[in-house]
Amino acid sequence: MATKSINGNQVEINDEGYLLNSDQWTEQIALEIAKEEGIDLSDKHFKLISYLRERSMNGESLSLRKVGKSGIVDIKEFYQLFPGAPLKKASRIAGIPKPESCV
């Protein structure tokens, strides 16, 4: 558990860098976390982030397969936008909890 300062705002994050409180998220925070991951956020990134936040707020569990079927990106693009571990990275940047899916 730690508190991070982003642009003068304090946000709480856990050991793995996920926001403890999803409501504290702002686009500025997203840009900050993305910078740490080495990603420059484009419109498409933000579109995906909105999609993930919406689903997460609705209590839906997220999976790689769902993102691929979202209509915003296909899975290959998802890996390109968030290289390495796309669902985990995108969730971190979107300020939502760590995904629990096995798929």
Partner 1 sequence: MNTKNNHPLKKVLIICAKGALEDIYASLVLANGAAMEGIETKMFFTFFGLDAITKKKMNHLHTSTVGNPSLSMPGGLAFPTFLGMLPGVEAGVSVMMKKQMEKLDIPPVDEFLDMITAGGGEVYACKLATDMFKVKKEDLTEHVKDIITVGEFYELASGEGTQIIFT
Residue closer to partner 1 by CB (options 28, 101) is 101
Residue closer to partner 1 by CB (options 7, 61) is 61
Contacts 24+ apart (CB under 8 A), 44-47: 44/72, 44/73, 44/77, 44/81, 45/81, 45/82, 45/93, 47/72
Does the annotation count 41 as an active-site position?
Answer: no
**Shortest separation between residue 8's beta carbon and partner 1, angstroms:** 28
Catalytic residue among 3, 8, 38, 102: 102
Binding footprint of partner 1 on the chain (CB under 8 A): 15-16, 63-66, 68, 74-76, 78-79, 83-88, 101-103
**Shortest separation between residue 15's beta carbon and partner 1, angstroms:** 6
Q: Is 57 exposed, middle or buried (0-12, 13-18, 19+ CB in 10 A)?
A: exposed
**Shortest separation between residue 48's beta carbon and partner 1, angstroms:** 15
Residue closer to partner 1 by CB (options 8, 76) is 76
Which helix (H) or strand (E) segment holds residue 38: the answer is: none
Residues labelled as active-site residues: 102
